[in-house]
Amino acid sequence: MLVMKDIVKIYKNGLLELKALDQVSLTVAKGEFVAITGPSGSGKSTLMHIMGCLDRPNAGEYFLDGEDVLGYPEQKLAAVRNRKIGFVFQNFNLLPKLDALTNVEIPLIYRGEERKISRQRAARLLEMVGLGDKMRHRPSELSGGQQQRVAIARALVGDPPLILADEPTGNLDSRSGAEIMELFKQLNSQGRTLVLITHDPNVARQANRIIYLQDGRVIPAPGGVAASEVS
């Protein structure tokens, strides 16, 4: 599904340079459920932004679904994000003035899909995530767990081959977080490829494989097992 080779990302602040990612190489196969974990400042979010084609590295190679995306202009990258990647964020990123149904529709509206078709698909996905009775509710009328379910439905609406989730349980209570993780497991069992970014080891252990980051590098897992071998 994705291949990264020797990814380097450097942030500059005047004369100072911070190497956020240092020769990161990894692969995620189609249908995998992978967690990327590590302490704050380890480079997790930077890596997620590059995976999601939201940022570019200073060096390295990135192939997404067989495409060398680093050479694409911004307009083509936007199309890749819309069609190949579904995003789930810690803060949900829902539009507060729109109801749940319209929030889920947005990726299809950007594609120019016929409104009747996009609305039907959004409704089906809200039913799938257990919010069939909340379609007309705005985000402020939903709990945190319900808002995250709307965000997951939105990530799925364009049928992307890859779902990227950045700390998806970070703003949820333990019960809602557990429900969201169960939903991710169900999606993976249906063949979805998921990459989950988390600092929480308990969340990471629910994935099928864990990749550990520290100081911008992939490191061996605790106990000396290579990160790529953890399952």
Q: Which residue has the tokens 């390295």?
A: 60
Residue 174: how many other CB atoms lie within 10 Å: 9
CA 48, CA 195: separation in Å to the nearest integer?
9
What is the torsional sign of CA 13, 15, 20, 26?
A: positive
Tell me: the pLDDT tens digits for 150-161? 999 999 998 898
Mean pLDDT, residues 135-141 taken together: 96
- When pLDDT is cut at 50, 70 and 90, the band that residue 229 belongs to is very low
Please, what are the domains in the chain? 2-229 (3.40.50.300)
Q: Mean pLDDT over residues 44-61, rounded? A: 94
* Stretch 41-61: mean pLDDT: 93
End-to-end CA distance of the chain: 18
Give the per-residue pLDDT at 220.
86
With 0.95 as the threshold, say if the pTM is over it: no
Q: Please give the pLDDT value at position 227.
A: 47
Name the least confident of 41-45, 108-112, 215-219, 220-224.
Answer: 220-224
Give per-residue pLDDT as tens, 53-104: 999 999 999 999 989 999 899 989 988 988 899 999 888 999 999 999 999 9
**Helices within 85-132 (DSSP H only):** 100-111, 115-128
1 has pLDDT over 90: no
Residue 33's pLDDT is what?
Answer: 96
Range 94-119 average pLDDT: 92
Query: Mean of the per-residue pLDDT values for the chain?
Result: 90
Look-up: residue for tokens 């970070």?
170
Q: In the chain, pLDDT over 90 holds for what percent of residues?
A: 68
Residue 223, pLDDT score: 60
Residue 67 phi/psi, 5° resolution? -105, 135
Percent of the chain whose pLDDT exceeds 70: 96
Q: Which residue has the tokens 């809602």?
A: 176
Predicted confidence band of residue 215 (pLDDT cuts 50, 70, 90): very high
Do 179 and 195 touch, CB atoms closer than 8 A? no
What pLDDT score was predicted for residue 95? 95
At 78, phi and psi to the nearest 5?
A: -60, -40
What is the pLDDT, as a whole number, of residue 40? Answer: 87
For the stretch 158-173, pLDDT in tens is 889 899 999 998 888 8
Predicted confidence band of residue 122 (pLDDT cuts 50, 70, 90): very high
